[in-house]
Amino acid sequence: MSYDPAVALDFFRSAGTPVAVPKSKVVFSEKEGKKSFFGTVNNKIYYLVDGEVTLLAGSKTIGTVKPGEIFGELAAITNAPRTATAMAKTDCSVIGLDHEQFELGLSAKPTFALMLMSLLIARLRESIARLTAAGSLGEGAGLHESAAFDAERLSELVSGLANDPPIYYQQGRQIVAEGSKAVLMYAVVKGRVAISIGGKLVERLGPGGAFGEAALVEQVPRMASATAETDCELQPINRQAFLSLVKSTPQFASGVLASLAERLRFLTERLK
Least confident of 64-78, 173-187, 223-237, 239-253: 239-253
Considering only CA atoms, which of 86, 80, 94, 106 is closest in space to residue 268?
80
- Is pLDDT of 39 > 60? no
- For the stretch 133-157, pLDDT in tens is 777 666 543 455 555 666 666 666 6
Please give the DSSP secondary-structure letter assigned to residue 82. Answer: P
Same domain, 126 and 248: yes
Residue where one domain finishes, among candidates 104, 125, 145:
104
* Residue 167 pLDDT > 60: yes
Q: What's the rounded Cα separation, in Å, for the pair 161 and 170?
A: 22
Question: pTM higher than 0.75, yes or no?
Answer: yes
3-state SS assignment for residue 169? strand
Q: For residues 37 and 234, which has the higher predicted lDDT (pLDDT)?
A: 234
Nearest to 137 by CA among 195, 224, 223, 200: 200
| End-of-domain residue from the set 66, 86, 104 | 104
Same domain for 49 and 134, yes or no, is no
Q: Does residue 141 share a domain with residue 24?
A: no
**How many distinct structural domains can be found in the chain?**
2
The answer to whether residues 120 and 212 belong to one domain is yes
**Whole-number Å distance between alpha carbons of 262 and 195:** 14
Residue 41: per-residue pLDDT: 53
Per DSSP, the three-state class of 114 is helix
What pLDDT is recorded for position 24?
A: 96
Same domain assignment for residues 156 and 241 = yes
Rounded CA separation 176/70 (Å): 32
Over residues 82-95, the pLDDT tens digits come to 889 999 999 999 99
For 69, residues 6+ apart whose C-beta sits below 8 A from its C-beta are 5, 47, 48
HSE (side-chain half, CA atoms, 13 Å) at 41:
9
The predicted model gives 87-106 an average pLDDT of: 94
Instruction: Indicate if 221 and 127 belong to the same structural domain.
Output: yes
133 and 205 co-located in one domain: yes
75 lies in the same domain as 176: no
Comparing 245 with 229, the larger pLDDT belongs to 229
Examine the fold and report which residue of 104, 130, 155 is the final residue of a domain before the chain moves on: 104
- Burial of 271 by CB count in 10 Å (0-12 exposed, 13-18 middle, 19+ buried)? exposed
Sheet holding 53-57, edge to edge: 26-28, 85-88, 53-57, 60-65
CATH number, position 17: 2.60.120.10
Range of the domain at 35: 5-104
Q: What's the mean pLDDT when you consider all of the chain?
A: 84
